[in-house]
Amino acid sequence: MPRVKRSIQSAITIDGFSLLWNLHREQQLSTEDGWKGLAIHVKVAEGVRRELHLEYPAYVKEQRGIKFTAPPRPTILAAKVEAHIRQAMADGWDPDSRGKPFIYELDELPS
């Protein structure tokens, strides 16, 4: 039986933008892409604007020939997510623009 996805979300204001973020995907094994890490989606609270997808790396550990993610469900700190959103804004994401989601890959977990 699969685990139930955690419902983690928060509302924040950064540089005058009211933003909502939520956990979109836990770490998982994909048949096409291999291990995929945690993903958090960020959107502007009001109106339809360009979304931000924060993509985190999967941390895979091997024990006795079996691969699994470690930690299986990392703690998500709102302060870290906010820092990553600010980092994405500095690297080009404009919450007021329109278009395809801005995919921002990170090297560290939000914990």
Per-residue model confidence (pLDDT) at position 69: 65
Q: Quick check: is 37 in a domain?
A: yes
The answer to the question of residue 2 being in a domain is: no
Q: Say how far apart CA 37 and CA 59 lie, in whole Å.
A: 7
Return the pLDDT at 3. 65
4 belongs to a structural domain: no
Total number of domains in the chain = 1
pLDDT of residue 68: 66
Distance (Å) of CA 55 to CA 62, 65, 74: 22, 27, 14
**Beta bridge pairs of residue 17:** 14
Residue 84 lies in a domain: yes
Question: How much is the pLDDT for 99?
Answer: 93
> What are the backbone dihedrals phi and psi of residue 5, each rounded to the nearest 5 degrees, phi first?
-70, 140
Residue 55 lies in a domain: yes
Domain with 62, as residue range(s), is 9-105
Q: What's residue 110's pLDDT? A: 75
The dihedrals phi and psi of 84, each to the nearest 5 degrees, come to -70, -35
Half-sphere exposure of 69 (CA within 13 A, CB side): 19
Per-residue pLDDT of the chain (111 residues; tens, 9 = 90+): 466 778 889 999 999 999 999 999 888 777 888 888 889 999 999 888 999 999 998 877 777 877 766 666 778 889 999 999 999 999 999 999 999 999 999 988 777
